[in-house]
Structure 1
Amino acid sequence: MLFSKTWADACNEDSQAKPFWIDFFEIFGITNKRVATFELNVKKLGGAQGFVDLFWPGVLLVEHKSRGKSLDDAVDQAIGYLHNLPERDLPQLVVVCDFARFRVRRLATGETVEFELKHLHKHVKLFGLLAGYKVQDIRSEDPVNIKAAERMGRLHDALKASGYSGHALEVLLVRLLFCLFADDTGIFQPAQSFRDFVEERTAPDGSDLGPRLGQLFQVLNTHESQRSKNIDEQLGQFAYINGRLFEETLPMADFSTAMREALLDACALDWSAISPAIFGSLFQSIMDEKARRNLGAHYTSEANILKLIKPLFLDELHAEFERVKGHRNKLFEFHKKLRQLTFFDPACGCGNFLVISYRELRELELKVLRADHELSAHKGQLTVDVHGLIGVNVDQFFGIEIEEFPAQIAQVALWLVDHQMNLRVSVEFGLYFARIPLKSTPQIRHANALQLDWNDVLPAERCSYVLGNPPFLGYSYQSKDQKADLAAVMQGIHGAGVLDFVCGWYILAGRYCQGNQTHAAFVSTNSITQGEHVAVLWGEMQRLGMHIHFAHRTFQWSNEAKGNAAVHCVIVGFGHENQVVKTIYEYEDIKGLPLAVPVKNINPYLIDAPTVFLPKRREPICNVPQMTKGSQPTDGGNLLLEDAEKTELLVVEPQADKWIRPFLGADEFINNIQRWCLWLVDCPPNELRSMPEVMKRIQAVKAMRKSSTKLATIELSETPAIFGEIRQPAEGNYLLIPLHSSEARTYVPIGFCDASIVCGNANAMIPNAGLFHFGVMTSAMHNAFMRFTCGRLESRYRYSNTIVYNNYPWPGFSGEPLSDKHRTAIEQAAQCVLDARAQFASSSLADLYDPLTMPPALLKAHQKLDTAVDAAYQPSGGKKNYASDAERVAFLFDLYQRITSLLPALASKKKQKPKSAES
Structure 2
Amino acid sequence: MGLNWNEIKSRALLFSKTWADACNEDSQAKPFWIDFFEIFGITNKRVATFELNVKKLGGAQGFVDLFWPGVLLVEHKSRGKSLDDAVDQAIGYLHNLPERDLPQLVVVCDFARFRVRRLATGETAEFELKHLHKHVKLFGLLAGYKVQDIRSEDPVNIKAAERMGRLHDALKASGYSGHALEVLLVRLLFCLFADDTGIFQPAQSFRDFVEERTAPDGSDLGPRLGQLFQVLNTHENQRSKNIDEQLGQFAYINGRLFEETLPMADFSTAMREALLDACALDWSAISPAIFGSLFQSIMDEKARRNLGAHYTSEANILKLIKPLFLDELHAEFERVKGHRNKLFEFHKKLRQLTFFDPACGCGNFLVISYRELRELELKVLRADHELSAHKGQLTVDVHGLIGVNVDQFFGIEIEEFPAQIAQVALWLVDHQMNLRVSVEFGLYFARIPLKSSPQIRHANALRLDWNDVLPEERCSYVLGNPPFIGKKEQTPHQKADFEPVMNRIKGFGVLDFVAAWYVKAADYMRSAVNEAAPRVAFVSTNSITQGEQVGVLWAWMLAQGIHIQFAHRTFSWSNEAKGNAAVHCVIVGFGLNDRNDKTIFEYADIKGEPLAVPAKNINPYLVDFADLLLERRSKPICKVPPLVEGITPLDNGILAFTNEERLAFIQKEPRAEKWIRRWLTGNDLINGETNYCLWLSEATATELRAMPHVMEKIAQVKHFRENSKSSQKFAVTPWLFRETTIPDKYILIPKTSSERRRIFPLGFVENAVATNSALYMNGGGLYEFGIICSAMHNSWLRLLGGRLKSDIRYSKDIVYNNYPWPGFAGEPLSDKHRTAIEQAAQCVLDARAQFADASLADLHDPLTMPPALLKAHQKLDTAVDTAYQPSGGKKSYASDAERVAFLFELYQRITSLLPAPRGKSHNEVRTHDVK
Shift of 1:363: 0.5
Q: Does structure 2 retain, via aligned residues, the 8 Å contact 1:635–1:724?
A: no
Please name the residue that 1:520 is paired with. 536
- Quote the RMSD (CA, aligned, Å): 1.5
Please name the residue that 2:626 is paired with. 610
Map 1:370-389; keep pairs closer than 5 Å. Answer: 370-389=382-401
Map 1:632-711; keep pairs closer than 5 Å. Answer: 632-708=648-724, 710=725
2:871 to 860, 873, 876: 860
Map 1:645-794; keep pairs closer than 5 Å. Answer: 645-708=661-724, 710=725, 712-729=726-743, 733-754=745-766, 756-794=767-805
- Evaluate the alpha carbon distance shift between residue 377 and residue 827 of structure 1 in structure 2; reply closer, same or farther with a 3 A threshold: same
Distance in 1, matches of 2:801 and 2:225, equals 58
Q: Does structure 2 retain, via aligned residues, the 8 Å contact 1:280–1:351?
A: yes
Distance in 1, matches of 2:552 and 2:589, equals 18
Write the letter of the residue equivalent to 2:505.
I
Please name the residue that 2:925 is paired with. none
Could you state the TM-score of these two structures normalised by the residue count of structure 1? 0.97
Write the letter of the residue equivalent to 2:895.
S
- Evaluate the alpha carbon distance shift between residue 28 and residue 726 of structure 1 in structure 2; reply closer, same or farther with a 3 A threshold: farther
Distance in 1, matches of 2:541 and 2:241, equals 59
Shift of 1:908: 5.2
Distance in 2, matches of 1:415 and 1:725, equals 64
Distance in 1, matches of 2:709 and 2:66, equals 90
- Please list every run of 5 or more consecutive structure 2 residues that lacks an aligned counterpart in the other structure: 1-12, 922-931
Q: Are positions 1:510 and 2:522 aligned together?
A: yes
Shift of 1:99: 1.1
Q: Which structure has the higher relative contact order (CA within 8 Å, separation 6+)?
A: 2
Distance in 1, matches of 2:663 and 2:827, equals 56
Write the letter of the residue equivalent to 1:675.
N
Distance in 1, matches of 2:336 and 2:587, equals 30
Distance in 1, matches of 2:42 and 2:917, equals 79
Q: Does structure 2 retain, via aligned residues, the 8 Å contact 1:281–1:298?
A: yes
Map 1:242-641; keep pairs closer than 5 Å. Answer: 242-514=254-526, 515=528, 516=530, 517-641=533-657
Range 72-81 or range 215-224, more displaced: 72-81
Q: Are positions 1:880 and 2:891 aligned together?
A: yes
Shift of 1:753: 2.5
Deviations along 1:20-65, one digit per CA (max 9) or x if unpaired, are 1111111111112311112222222223222221111111111111
Q: Are positions 1:828 and 2:842 aligned together?
A: no
Q: Does structure 1 retain, via aligned residues, the 8 Å contact 2:147–2:284?
A: no
Distance in 1, matches of 2:522 and 2:920, equals 31
Deviations along 1:533-568, one digit per CA (max 9) or x if unpaired, are 111111111112111111111111111211111111
Q: Does structure 2 retain, via aligned residues, the 8 Å contact 1:629–1:727?
A: no
Q: Does structure 2 retain, via aligned residues, the 8 Å contact 1:630–1:727?
A: no
Map 1:189-208; keep pairs closer than 5 Å. Answer: 189-208=201-220
Please name the residue that 1:917 is paired with. none
- Evaluate the alpha carbon distance shift between residue 718 and residue 88 of structure 1 in structure 2; reply closer, same or farther with a 3 A threshold: same
- Evaluate the alpha carbon distance shift between residue 149 and residue 855 of structure 1 in structure 2; reply closer, same or farther with a 3 A threshold: closer
Q: Are positions 1:49 and 2:61 aligned together?
A: yes
Q: Does structure 1 retain, via aligned residues, the 8 Å contact 2:217–2:269?
A: yes
Distance in 2, matches of 1:48 and 1:870, equals 83
Of all paired residues, the percent bearing the same amino acid is 80
Please name the residue that 1:915 is paired with. none
Residue 616 of structure 1 aligns to a residue whose secondary structure is coil
Shift of 1:86: 1.4
Residue 35 of structure 1 aligns to a residue whose secondary structure is coil
Range 37-46 or range 576-585, more displaced: 37-46
Distance in 1, matches of 2:82 and 2:651, equals 89
Write the letter of the residue equivalent to 1:782.
H
Deviations along 1:769-817, one digit per CA (max 9) or x if unpaired, are 2333222222211111111110111222110111101111111222222
Range 716-725 or range 488-497, more displaced: 716-725
Q: Does structure 2 retain, via aligned residues, the 8 Å contact 1:529–1:605?
A: yes
Distance in 2, matches of 1:893 and 1:856, equals 32
Write the letter of the residue equivalent to 1:896.
Y
Shift of 1:838: 3.3
Residue 33 of structure 1 aligns to a residue whose secondary structure is coil
Range 661-670 or range 42-51, more displaced: 42-51
- Evaluate the alpha carbon distance shift between residue 510 and residue 45 of structure 1 in structure 2; reply closer, same or farther with a 3 A threshold: same
Residue 647 of structure 1 aligns to a residue whose secondary structure is helix
Distance in 2, matches of 1:11 and 1:834, equals 92
- Evaluate the alpha carbon distance shift between residue 98 and residue 860 of structure 1 in structure 2; reply closer, same or farther with a 3 A threshold: closer
Distance in 1, matches of 2:824 and 2:428, equals 62
- Evaluate the alpha carbon distance shift between residue 5 and residue 544 of structure 1 in structure 2; reply closer, same or farther with a 3 A threshold: same
- Evaluate the alpha carbon distance shift between residue 79 and residue 834 of structure 1 in structure 2; reply closer, same or farther with a 3 A threshold: closer
Distance in 2, matches of 1:23 and 1:564, equals 51
Please name the residue that 2:4 is paired with. none
Residue 555 of structure 1 aligns to a residue whose secondary structure is strand
Could you state the TM-score of these two structures normalised by the residue count of structure 2? 0.95
Write the letter of the residue equivalent to 1:905.
A
Write the letter of the residue equivalent to 2:739.
E
Q: Does structure 2 retain, via aligned residues, the 8 Å contact 1:132–1:183?
A: no
Shift of 1:189: 1.0
Distance in 2, matches of 1:639 and 1:38, equals 85
Distance in 2, matches of 1:654 and 1:24, equals 100
Distance in 2, matches of 1:811 and 1:363, equals 54
Write the letter of the residue equivalent to 1:263.
L
Write the letter of the residue equivalent to 1:716.
F
- Evaluate the alpha carbon distance shift between residue 462 and residue 655 of structure 1 in structure 2; reply closer, same or farther with a 3 A threshold: same
Deviations along 1:59-85, one digit per CA (max 9) or x if unpaired, are 111111121122122212222222222
Q: Are positions 1:239 and 2:251 aligned together?
A: yes
Distance in 2, matches of 1:271 and 1:853, equals 48
Residue 377 of structure 1 aligns to a residue whose secondary structure is helix
Distance in 2, matches of 1:146 and 1:323, equals 41
Deviations along 1:111-140, one digit per CA (max 9) or x if unpaired, are 111101111011111111112212312111
Distance in 2, matches of 1:745 and 1:909, equals 37
Deviations along 1:690-733, one digit per CA (max 9) or x if unpaired, are 1111112112212222222x2x312222211111233513x5x3
Q: Does structure 1 retain, via aligned residues, the 8 Å contact 2:222–2:265?
A: yes
Distance in 2, matches of 1:789 and 1:580, equals 25
Distance in 1, matches of 2:920 and 2:650, equals 26
- Please list every run of 5 or more consecutive structure 1 residues that lacks an aligned counterpart in the other structure: 911-919
